[in-house]
Amino acid sequence: MSRYLLKRFLTAVLTVLFVFVLNFVLIRLAPGDPITILAGQDNPSQEQIDILKAKYGLDKPIFVQLLAYLKNLLKGDMGTSIIYGRPVFDVISERLGPTLLLSLTGAVIALVIGTSLAIVASRKPGGLLDNIISYIAYVLYSMPAFWLGLIVILFFASYLGWLPTAGMIDARAGYTGWAHVLDVAKHLILPAGALALVGVPAYFRIGRSSMMQVVKNDYVNLFKAAGMDRKKVYRKYLFREAMLPTITTFGIRLAYIIGGSAATEIVFAWPGMGTLVLSAIQTRDYPMLMGNYLILSISVAVWMILVDLIYAVADPRIRLS
């Protein structure tokens, strides 16, 4: 077990390092650089450009820059944002919370609704209810979250005016305490709802097919022949077994929780990491981008290990070795 974990940990470190180096090099090979933005648009002189480049160390070869970055990273320093002028770590930690709030809410709602619908629909496969739910699931499945986001903004925010169109708080109101929580919740409904709706079909379809699979298990007959109540067989046995593929799916989706909802964040102007990454790309804010990539790849790597551990607990047939 501990050997397995050590192996997985070392593989994860190597993967993260590889991803990091790739990103580090790629973004610098891409056209454009932060200096042009910093220097302004009125034709900066070569002298100005050279000074700025030297200031941020961009005059050195890529390899030297990489080593310098890694050296600082080992000391716990993720660098300073070229555009914000603040430590990258500080900016990211401000954005991490809102992103987690949005993505987790969306993911959990999708999981709960999708799985519940799966259980309802699998009771009578091919029945009217199953057909209706399956049809709606197909429609939702074909929609990108950001597009659905635009539609719900148009309808619920612009047309009906029930909910705010964008942002996480009403900045002018300056709420505190419970009023603040309520304010955030109000802003959360549309983006989290859009994310949840496009997430529902995956859980629905996986849960439904898995449920239909497990009811065919021979032990269902045994328990029925033994006089066991159908409900008990469902609750204790079938449900847990049917949930196994759902757990995997949920786990894999959670791994992309930080980066996965970027498009939705942008549509709703949600102050999360998605909007941060987008602006960092546009301004070629190298240190900010590297910081984001690092957090993203680390969270994916760690989460993959966690999912495997959870799966091994849920399914005794899985051995970690």
Partner 1 sequence: MTQNPLLSLRDVNIGYRTPSGMVRAANDINLDLFESDALGIVGESGSGKSTLAMGILDLLADNAEVRGQAVFNGKNLIGLPEKEMRSIRWREISVVFQKSMNSFSPVYKIGEQIHDIYKVHRPGSSRAESDGAITRLLGVVNLTDRVLGMYQHQLSGGMLQRICIALSLIFDPKIVVFDEATTALDVVTQGQVIGEIKRLQHDFHVSSLLITHDISVVAETCNRVAVMYAGYIMETGPVRSVIEEPLHPYTQGLISSFPTLESGKKMIRGIPGTLPDLKEEVPGCIFAPRCPKAQEKCRKQRPQPQEAATQHTVACHFWGRD
Is residue 258 helix, strand or coil?
A: coil
Q: How far is the CB of 316 from partner 1 (least distance, A)?
A: 5
57: Cβ contacts below 8 Å, ≥ 6 apart: 65, 68
How many positions of this chain bind partner 1 (CB under 8 A)? 22
Kindly report the number of other CB atoms within 10 A of residue 238's CB atom.
23
Asked if residue 226 binds partner 1 (CB under 8 A), the reply is yes
Residue 190: name the closest of 284, 261, 127 by CA: 261
Main-chain phi, psi angles of 80, to 5 degrees: -115, 140
Question: What tokens were used for 156?
Answer: 């619920």
12: Cβ contacts below 8 Å, ≥ 6 apart: 301, 302, 304, 305
Per-residue contact flags (x/-) with partner 1 for residues 192 to 221, judged by CB under 8 A: -------------------------xxx-x
- Select the residue interacting with partner 1 from 158, 224, 282, 306 (CB under 8 A): 224
Q: Which stretch binds partner 1 (CB under 8 A): 130-138, 232-240, 266-274, 294-302?
A: 232-240
Per-residue contact flags (x/-) with partner 1 for residues 292 to 321, judged by CB under 8 A: ----------------------xxxx----
Q: Which stretch binds partner 1 (CB under 8 A): 60-68, 102-110, 227-235, 262-270?
A: 227-235
- Select the residue interacting with partner 1 from 146, 223, 286, 303 (CB under 8 A): 223
Do residues 107 and 254 lie in contact, with contact meaning Cβ atoms separated by under 8 Å?
yes
Q: How far is the CB of 64 from partner 1 (least distance, A)?
A: 54
Per-residue contact flags (x/-) with partner 1 for residues 30 to 49, judged by CB under 8 A: --------------------
- Select the residue interacting with partner 1 from 33, 183, 241, 285 (CB under 8 A): 241
Q: CA 91 to CA 97: how far, in whole Å?
A: 11
Task: Write out the H or E segment, with its range, that includes residue 223.
Answer: helix 218-225
Question: What tokens were used for 259?
Answer: 């980066």
Asked if residue 142 binds partner 1 (CB under 8 A), the reply is no
List of residues contacting partner 1 (CB under 8 A): 217-219, 221-229, 232, 236-237, 240-241, 244, 314-317
